[in-house]
């Protein structure tokens, strides 16, 4: 659906050249919600703006739906951009236009008939829950309502792709969750491919299927959110995930606890339905090993439940080894904390 091939974007000339993206490769599948996470200055916004060529790459190729955008004429590019909607961090609404007129704006640019515009705008305002606000102006709306207008406007041309540039970072947590739910509903209803950039792991965890971690202009880690979130390989990814102070404190307790032959600490990860099963207690009962829970959490990654426990096993060393072996054999990820 979307392919970025050896993408490089530099600014400036000579000794003042700044490289925002460097030889970046990325593939996004049709119908998925793909997240890109990274710190400020990592290249996130440049990457997403290169997808619709609001930023033209210095080198490399951008393919969307089988079309190489980087090889098109200006007129051809305008045609292709109509299939790519975009929502922005600060909404980018026309302040002197009503909610209705903001959503109708892209349709009027393509000289759509008044009847079609009226039908489409009312349909979209109903979709985003703003049908009662169509005659209001942006200044009369909350931040969440403004973003809903932005989403409706982005959907007006029936795009195949929706690009979200930090779409929730200006919103409070409750409003953020409502916008994420709306994006998820839109993805399911229309099978629109959504590319979402953010610096918030919660956003990725809530709705994304896959994620790429960007650092210093390159992708340092990518894959299904469950894998990247639960088994981070790169230190930047771990930084985003290990911001939970309780988790860090529990890890520190486990690390500093005496590690005699009679005890061993481990982090155990459950994914899917096994999250709710009594695998740990049943296994420890069978092997005769006791355990103490130092920290635990149960949550979801999109629709997938998961659990993570940091435990200290106590008992015979061979029995502890056997417990870890049995747990691993049942599909759990067991990481011994040394």
Q: Give the closest residue to 42 by CA, choosing from 305, 221, 270.
A: 221
Residue-level pLDDT, tens digit, the chain, 338 residues: 899 999 999 998 878 889 999 999 999 999 999 999 999 899 999 999 999 999 999 999 999 999 999 999 999 999 999 999 999 988 999 999 999 999 999 999 999 999 999 999 999 999 999 999 999 999 999 999 999 999 999 999 999 999 999 999 889 999 999 999 999 999 999 999 999 999 988 899 999 999 999 999 999 999 999 999 988 899 999 888 865 444 556 556 655 655 555 788 899 999 999 999 999 999 999 999 999 888 888 888 988 999 999 899 998 889 999 999 999 999 999 999 87
Q: For the chain, which domains are there? A: 2-240 (3.40.50.300), 244-337 (3.30.70.260)
DSSP letters, 99-118, are HHHHHHHHHHHTT--HHHHH
Kind of pairing between the strands at 33-37 and 18-28 = unpaired
Residue pointed to by tokens 């860090």: 248
Half-sphere exposure of 273 (CA within 13 A, CB side): 0
* 8 Å CB contact between 295 and 246: yes
The set of residues, in sequence order, having a beta carbon less than 8 Å from that of 158 and lying 6+ positions away, is none
Please report the pLDDT score of residue 332 as a whole number.
Answer: 93
Give helix then strand counts, H and E, for the chain. Answer: 12, 14
Residue pointed to by tokens 């973003």: 147
Please report the pLDDT score of residue 131 as a whole number.
Answer: 93
Please report the pLDDT score of residue 250 as a whole number.
Answer: 56
N residues, the chain: 338
Alpha-carbon span 239 to 216, nearest angstrom:
15
Alpha-carbon span 88 to 166, nearest angstrom:
7
Give the helix ranges, DSSP H, for the chain: 44-51, 74-81, 99-109, 114-127, 143-155, 173-190, 201-207, 225-230, 235-241, 245-256, 279-287, 317-329
Is pTM beyond 0.85? Reply is yes
Please report the pLDDT score of residue 102 as a whole number.
Answer: 96
Give the CA dihedral 313, 315, 319, 323, nearest 10 degrees. Answer: -20
Give the CA dihedral 151, 157, 158, 164, nearest 10 degrees. Answer: -30
Which residues make beta-bridge pairs with 33? 194
Please report the pLDDT score of residue 184 as a whole number.
Answer: 95
Find how far residue 305's CA is from the centre of its chain. 17
Alpha-carbon span 229 to 74, nearest angstrom:
40
Which residues make beta-bridge pairs with 212? 36, 222
Q: Give the closest residue to 310 by CA, choosing from 278, 265, 262, 264.
A: 265
């Amino acid at each position: 659906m979307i392919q970025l091939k050896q993408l490089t974007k530099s600014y400036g000339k000579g000794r003042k050249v700044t490289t925002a993206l460097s030889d970046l490769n990325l593939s996004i599948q049709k119908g998925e919600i793909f997240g890109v996470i990274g710190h400020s200055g990592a290249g996130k916004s440049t990457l997403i703006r290169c997808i619709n060529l609001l930023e033209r790459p210095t080198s490399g190729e951008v393919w969307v739906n089988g079309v190489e955008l980087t090889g098109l004429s200006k007129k051809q590019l305008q045609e292709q951009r109509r299939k790519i909607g975009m929502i922005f961090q600060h909404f980018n609404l026309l302040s002197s236009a009503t909610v209705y007129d903001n959503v109708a704006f892209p349709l009027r640019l393509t000289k759509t008939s008044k009847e079609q515009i009226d039908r489409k705008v009312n349909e979209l305002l109903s979709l985003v829950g703003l049908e009662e606000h169509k005659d209001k102006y942006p200044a009369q709306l909350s931040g969440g309502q403004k973003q809903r207008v932005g989403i409706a406007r982005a959907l007006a041309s029936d795009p195949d792709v929706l690009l979200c540039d930090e779409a929730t970072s200006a919103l409070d947590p409750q409003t953020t969750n409502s916008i994420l739910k709306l994006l998820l509903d839109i993805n399911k209803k229309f099978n629109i491919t959504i590319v979402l950039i953010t610096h918030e792991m919660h956003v990725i965890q809530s709705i994304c299927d896959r994620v790429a971690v960007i650092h210093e202009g390159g992708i340092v880690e990518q894959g299904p959110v469950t894998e990247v979130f639960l088994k981070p390989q790169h230190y930047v990814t771990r930084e985003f995930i290990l911001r939970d102070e309780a988790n860090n404190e529990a890890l520190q307790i486990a690390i500093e606890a005496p590690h005699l032959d009679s005890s061993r600490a481990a982090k155990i990860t459950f994914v899917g339905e096994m999250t709710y099963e009594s695998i740990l207690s049943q296994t420890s009962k069978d092997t005769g090993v006791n355990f103490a829970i130092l920290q635990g959490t149960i949550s979801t990654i999109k629709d997938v439940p998961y659990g993570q426990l940091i435990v200290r096993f106590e008992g015979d060393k061979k029995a502890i080894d056997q417990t870890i072996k049995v747990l691993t054999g049942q599909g759990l990820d067991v990481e011994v904390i040394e």
